[in-house]
Structure 1
Amino acid sequence: MKLFKHTLLAAAIACSTASAWADEVQVAVASNFSKPLEAIAEKFKAASGHELKISAGATGKLYAQIENGAPFEVFISADSKTPKKLVENKMAEADTQFTYAFGKLVLWSSTEGYVDDKGEVLRKGDFKHLAIANPKTAPYGEAGMAVMEKLGLTATITPKLVTGENITQTYDFVSTGNAELGFVALSQVQKDGKLKGGSAWIVPAEMYQPMAQDAVLLSSAKDSAAAKALLEFLKGEEAQAIISSYGYGLPEKTTEAK
Structure 2
Amino acid sequence: MLKLVCFVAWALGSSSSAGAAEVIVAVAANFTAPMKEIAAAFERETGHKVSLSFGSTGNFRTQIVNGAPFQVFLAADDETPAALERDGYAVPGTRFTYAVGKLVLWSPTLVVDDQGKILETGEFTHLAVANPKLAPYGKAAMQVLQKRGLATRLEPKIVWGESITQTYQFVVSGAAELGFVALSQVYEDGKIKGSAWLVPQEDYDPIRQDAVLLVRGKDEPAARELLTYLKREPARAIIQRYGYSFE
Report whether the alignment pairs 1:159 with 2:171.
no
Distance 1:238 1:27 in 2: 19
Cross-structure match for 2:144: 147
Equivalent of residue 200 in structure 2, options 182, 195, 204: 204
Cα offsets for 1:193-228 (capped at 9, x unmatched): 2113x2000000000001100000001111111000
Q: 1:242 to 1:118 in 2, by over 3 A?
A: same
Cross-structure match for 1:98: 96
Q: Does the aligned pair in 1 maintain the 2:30–2:184 contact within 8 Å?
A: yes
Equivalent of residue 110 in structure 1, options 108, 111, 117: 108
Equivalent of residue 171 in structure 2, options 152, 158, 174: 174
Equivalent of residue 119 in structure 2, options 107, 119, 122: 122
TM-superposed deviation, 1:114: 1.7
Cross-structure match for 1:3: none
Equivalent of residue 63 in structure 2, options 65, 77, 80: 65
Distance 2:108 2:13 in 1: 49
Report whether the alignment pairs 1:234 with 2:230.
yes
Q: 1:241 to 1:15 in 2, by over 3 A?
A: closer
Structure 2: gaps (5+ residues): 1-6
Q: Does the aligned pair in 1 maintain the 2:17–2:47 contact within 8 Å?
A: no
Structure 1: gaps (5+ residues): 1-8, 252-258
Query: TM-score, normalising length from structure 2?
Result: 0.93
Percent of residue pairs bearing the same amino acid type: 56
Aligned length: 244
Q: Does the aligned pair in 2 maintain the 1:110–1:177 contact within 8 Å?
A: no
TM-superposed deviation, 1:249: 1.0
Distance 2:189 2:73 in 1: 26
Cross-structure match for 1:6: none
Query: TM-score, normalising length from structure 1?
Result: 0.90
Deviating 4+ runs (over 4 angstroms): 9-19
Give the partner amino acid of 1:84.
A
Cross-structure match for 1:254: none
Q: Does the aligned pair in 2 maintain the 1:24–1:52 contact within 8 Å?
A: yes
Distance 1:41 1:216 in 2: 16
Cα offsets for 1:114-170 (capped at 9, x unmatched): 211110100100111000000001000000000000111011101100000100000
TM-superposed deviation, 1:192: 3.6
Q: Does the aligned pair in 2 maintain the 1:73–1:220 contact within 8 Å?
A: yes
